[in-house]
C-alpha cells in the first residue's frame, strides 16, 4: 500500500493524465446516440488500455471481493460442466448441439447512472467479437455489443433508452418486448402485453429467440408490478432485471454461428 501511494506521488502528472483521459472518454460516450455508436468503432485500444489499467489498480484494493466472485463463477462453470451444459475449449465455451458460442470476458468499465449506459469489455476483434452480439452475466442478459476494436468492445447496457429486447412470458410463451424506460437501477418495463394476458408478481420474462442476438430462454428478469390498460389496449408491467449491474464483473459474449446464413435467407425472401 505504501509503495503504491509513493508511486502515485512520484508520478502525479502521469496519474492526472490517466484521470483526464477517463473523464474525456466518459463524456464522449455519453454524447453519442445509439445510431452513431453503431457506426463508430468505439472502445479504441488506447482508451481500452486506460480503462484496463484503471481496472487493475482498482482491483488491487478489492482483491477479496474479486476472489469471491471468481470462485463463485468457477463453481457455476464447474456445475455446468458436470451437467454437460457447456464444453470447455481454448477460447470459447460452447453449448452442446447449439448454434451459439460463448466468449468469456471481463468488465473493465460499467456505467449505471446515465440515460444511456454502456459496458467496456476486455475482448475484441482478435477474440472473434463483432457488433450486435449479446452479453450474458451469470444471472441473465446484460447488453449488446455496439463497438469493437482489436482488443476491446463497447456494449449498450440494458440500462439504456435504446435497449429494446424481444421477449416471452415464460409461463405461457406469449411474445412481449422489454425496455428500460429510464427507470432506476435494475428496474425496466415489459411492454406490448396482449390485453387478455394477466401477469403476476414473480412471473419470469425470458428472451424470445426471435432475434439474431440472443438465443431463446435466457433470463431477462421478473415482474414486480402489473398495469392493465384502461382502454383495453396493450398492457405493461414493471420488471426487475435478473442481472445485478452494480456487481457486474465476469460475462459471456454470445456469438451466433448461424447469423450470416439466417440473414442471407431473409434477404433472399425479401428480394423475391
pLDDT tens per residue, range 137-152: 989 999 999 999 999 9
- pLDDT for 260 beyond 80: no
Residue pLDDT, tens place only, 233-253: 889 999 999 999 999 988 999
Comparison of pLDDT for 178 and 71, the residue scoring more: 178
Residue pLDDT, tens place only, 175-198: 999 999 877 778 999 999 998 898
Does the model's pTM come out above 0.75?
A: no
Comparison of pLDDT for 19 and 60, the residue scoring more: 19
Paired sense of beta strands 164-169 and 134-136, if any: unpaired
Average pLDDT, the chain: 77
The set of residues, in sequence order, having a beta carbon less than 8 Å from that of 229 and lying 6+ positions away, is: 195, 235, 236
Dihedral sign from CA coordinates of 243, 129, 74, 112: negative
Beta strands in 61-174 (DSSP E): 86-87, 93-95, 100-110, 116-121, 134-136, 141-148, 153-160, 164-169
Of 191, 196, 158, 163, which Cα lies nearest the Cα of 177?
191
HSE-up (13 A, CA, CB side) for residue 224: 10
Number of residues in the chain: 272
Helix (H) or strand (E) holding 192: strand 187-193
- pLDDT for 121 beyond 90: yes
pLDDT bucket at 43, cuts 50 / 70 / 90: very low
- pLDDT for 91 beyond 50: no
**Rounded CA separation 220/243 (Å):** 8
pLDDT bucket at 92, cuts 50 / 70 / 90: very low
- Range with the poorest average pLDDT among 80-94, 109-123, 155-169: 80-94
How confident is the model at residue 90, as a pLDDT? 38
**Residue whose grid cell is 452442446:** 96
How confident is the model at residue 84, as a pLDDT? 44
How confident is the model at residue 97, as a pLDDT? 40
Amino acid at each position: 500500500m505504501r509503495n503504491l501511494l509513493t508511486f502515485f506521488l512520484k508520478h502525479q502528472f502521469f496519474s492526472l493524465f490517466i484521470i483526464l483521459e477517463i473523464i474525456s472518454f466518459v463524456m464522449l460516450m455519453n454524447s453519442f446516440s445509439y445510431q452513431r455508436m453503431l457506426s463508430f468503432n468505439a472502445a479504441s485500444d488506447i482508451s481500452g488500455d486506460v480503462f484496463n489499467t484503471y481496472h487493475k489498480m482498482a482491483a488491487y484494493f478489492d482483491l477479496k471481493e474479486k476472489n469471491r466472485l471468481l470462485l463463485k463463477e468457477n463453481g457455476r462453470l464447474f456445475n455446468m460442466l458436470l451437467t454437460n451444459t457447456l464444453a470447455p475449449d481454448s477460447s470459447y465455451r460452447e453449448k452442446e448441439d447449439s448454434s451459439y458460442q460463448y466468449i468469456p470476458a471481463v468488465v473493465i468499465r460499467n456505467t449505471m447512472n446515465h440515460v444511456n449506459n454502456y459496458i467496456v469489455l476486455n475482448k475484441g476483434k482478435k477474440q472473434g467479437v463483432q457488433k450486435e452480439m449479446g452479453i450474458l452475466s451469470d444471472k441473465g442478459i446484460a447488453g449488446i455489443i455496439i463497438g469493437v476494436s482489436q482488443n476491446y468492445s463497447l456494449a449498450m447496457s440494458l440500462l439504456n433508452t435504446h435497449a429494446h429486447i424481444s421477449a416471452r412470458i415464460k409461463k405461457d410463451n406469449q411474445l412481449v418486448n422489454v425496455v428500460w424506460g429510464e427507470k432506476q437501477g435494475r428496474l425496466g418495463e415489459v411492454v406490448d402485453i396482449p390485453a387478455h394476458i394477466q401477469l403476476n408478481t414473480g412471473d419470469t420474462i425470458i428472451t424470445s429467440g426471435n432475434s439474431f442476438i440472443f438465443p431463446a430462454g435466457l433470463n431477462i428478469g421478473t415482474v414486480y408490478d402489473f398495469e392493465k390498460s384502461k382502454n383495453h389496449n396493450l398492457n405493461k408491467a414493471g420488471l426487475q432485471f435478473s442481472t445485478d449491474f452494480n456487481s457486474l464483473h465476469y460475462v459471456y459474449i454470445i456469438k451466433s454461428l448461424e447469423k450470416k446464413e439466417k440473414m442471407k435467407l431473409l434477404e433472399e425472401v425479401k428480394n423475391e
